[in-house]
């Protein structure tokens, strides 16, 4: 049985509190109608272990605001207050030598069918090993991403991940670690827990949000990296058949980071992946502060404060990379 970490503390009700005190009523709209939106924010130690930074903190805050607006969830917190809340929790959970993944979730705790809605911001955090993803095999799911008029993919909501859950269950039957979702037109949308990118003739190609994928912050980071490296980056529809003729493929997301794909539906891709490897190397140089990219923001936190642990910080398994 997979058991996620049980951290000591969470942020809820405007303060850091004990994990066991963080509860939501069973009748809340967040439970009975999946009225919640969330983000995933990754924090990295630099190579020297002297600086800990949260990647693209403001971009995640702004996307959380957009998701809340689209789902009619009140969210009037300022970026400064949001940043302070994240930092307060980080200082409690931070472990030297382990990275950290934060999951801010805006929950509808009161209200009925969108009337008199009251929300609360809950932030949980999980420590992670400082390791790079390994290559995986993916399949193509029979389940499809919903259209923008049904359940917009640009809303990062738990409701949007029901189809991802079904795709993951489907994929496990065939031994796949991830599944690619198509849209109603039969073109590529994204993977179940990350965005999908492909390399053809030296170009990096990924579907635009209009094809049914999340407005990905990590994909935007990859675009900046491509610009810096002189690699052409293209957002365009990706046909189903292109999955089998691409030169390289990889998945990207905050928790996934950059995950190379070695086979799709049992069909092996090329053994050499020069573009993916170059992008991956530069990504890790940036998040470990070995290379500065002006358009990619790292929000540094002081770590010479009480509460930073030197232990392993893990009571059980961390979240899977592509959740």
Residues 146-196: tens digit of each pLDDT? 999 999 999 999 999 999 999 999 999 999 999 999 999 999 999 999 999
Give how far the C-alpha of residue 287 lies from the chain's centroid of Cα atoms, to the nearest Å.
15
Mean pLDDT on 221-244:
98
pLDDT band at 4 (very low <50, low <70, confident <90, very high): confident
Which one, of 171, 172, 212, lies nearest residue 188 by Cα? 212
pLDDT of 281 > 70? The answer is: yes
pLDDT in tens, 53-66: 999 999 999 999 99
pLDDT of 226 > 70? The answer is: yes
For residues 281 and 294, give the distance between their C-alpha atoms in angstroms, rounded to a whole number. Answer: 17
For residues 159 and 193, give the distance between their C-alpha atoms in angstroms, rounded to a whole number. Answer: 13
pLDDT band at 311 (very low <50, low <70, confident <90, very high): low
Which of 31-40, 58-67, 310-319 bottoms out in mean pLDDT, i.e. has the lowest?
310-319
Please report, for the chain, the start and end positions of each structural domain, with discontinuous segments joined by +. Answer: 9-131+293-301, 136-287
pLDDT band at 313 (very low <50, low <70, confident <90, very high): very low
For tokens 């936190």, name the residue. Answer: 301
Query: Considering the entire predicted model, what is its pTM?
Result: 0.93
3-state helix, strand, coil in the chain (%, to 5): 25, 30, 40
pLDDT of 70 > 60? The answer is: yes
Question: What are the E-state strand segments in the chain?
Answer: 9-12, 15-18, 36-38, 41-45, 52-55, 99-112, 115-128, 136-144, 178-182, 188-191, 195-200, 203-206, 233-235, 248-253, 257-264, 267-268, 298-301
What pLDDT is stored for residue 2 in this prediction?
A: 59
For residues 313 and 7, give the distance between their C-alpha atoms in angstroms, rounded to a whole number. Answer: 8
For residues 117 and 294, give the distance between their C-alpha atoms in angstroms, rounded to a whole number. Answer: 39
Backbone phi, psi, residue 137, to 5°? -105, 140
Using a pLDDT cut of 70, give the percent of the chain over it. 92
What pLDDT is stored for residue 167 in this prediction?
A: 98
pLDDT in tens, 114-141: 999 999 999 999 999 999 999 999 999 9
Task: Indicate the CATH number of 9-131+293-301 among 3.40.80.10, 3.30.470.10, 3.40.50.2000, 3.10.180.10.
Answer: 3.30.470.10
C-alpha to C-alpha distances, 280 to 59, 78, 128, 186, 191, nearest whole angstrom: 21, 33, 18, 29, 19
pLDDT of 301 > 60? The answer is: yes
CATH code of the domain made up of 136-287:
3.20.10.10
Three-class SS of residue 254? coil
For residues 33 and 228, give the distance between their C-alpha atoms in angstroms, rounded to a whole number. Answer: 44
Which one, of 26, 22, 2, lies nearest residue 13 by Cα? 22
Burial 119-134 (b: 16+ CB within 10 A, else e): bbbbbbbbbbeeeebe
pLDDT in tens, 5-36: 899 999 999 999 999 999 999 999 999 999 99
pLDDT band at 309 (very low <50, low <70, confident <90, very high): low
């Amino acid at each position: 049985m997979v058991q996620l970490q049980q951290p000591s503390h969470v942020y809820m009700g405007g303060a850091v509190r004990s994990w066991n005190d963080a509860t939501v009523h069973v009748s809340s709209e967040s439970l009975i109608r999946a009225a919640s939106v969330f983000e995933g924010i990754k924090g990295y130690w630099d190579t020297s272990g002297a600086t800990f930074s949260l990647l693209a903190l403001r971009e995640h805050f702004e996307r959380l605001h957009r998701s809340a607006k689209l789902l009619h969830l009140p969210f009037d917190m300022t970026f400064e207050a949001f940043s302070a809340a994240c930092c307060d929790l980080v200082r409690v959970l931070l472990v030297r030598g382990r990275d950290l993944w934060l999951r801010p979730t805006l929950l509808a705790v009161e209200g009925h069918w969108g009337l008199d809605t009251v929300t609360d911001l809950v932030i949980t955090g999980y420590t992670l090993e400082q390791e790079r993803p390994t290559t995986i095999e993916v399949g193509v799911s029979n389940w499809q991403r919903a259209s923008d008029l049904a359940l917009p993919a640009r809303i990062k909501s738990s409701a949007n991940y029901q189809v991802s859950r079904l795709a993951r269950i489907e994929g496990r039957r065939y031994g796949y670690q991830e599944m690619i979702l198509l849209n109603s037109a039969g073109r590529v949308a994204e993977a179940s827990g990350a965005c999908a990118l492909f390399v053809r003739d030296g170009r990096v190609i990924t579907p635009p949000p209009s094809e049914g994928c999340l407005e990905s912050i990590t994909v935007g980071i990859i675009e900046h990296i491509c610009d810096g490296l002189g690699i052409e980056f293209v957002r365009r529809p990706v046909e189903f058949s292109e999955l089998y003729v691409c030169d390289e493929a990889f998945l990207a997301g905050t928790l996934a980071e950059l995950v190379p794909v070695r086979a799709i539906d049992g069909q092996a891709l090329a053994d050499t992946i020069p573009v993916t490897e170059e992008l991956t190397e530069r990504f890790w140089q940036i998040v470990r502060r070995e290379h500065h990219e002006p358009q990619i923001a790292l929000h540094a936190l002081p770590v010479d404060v009480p509460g930073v642990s030197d232990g392993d910080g893990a009571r059980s398994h961390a979240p899977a990379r592509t959740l």
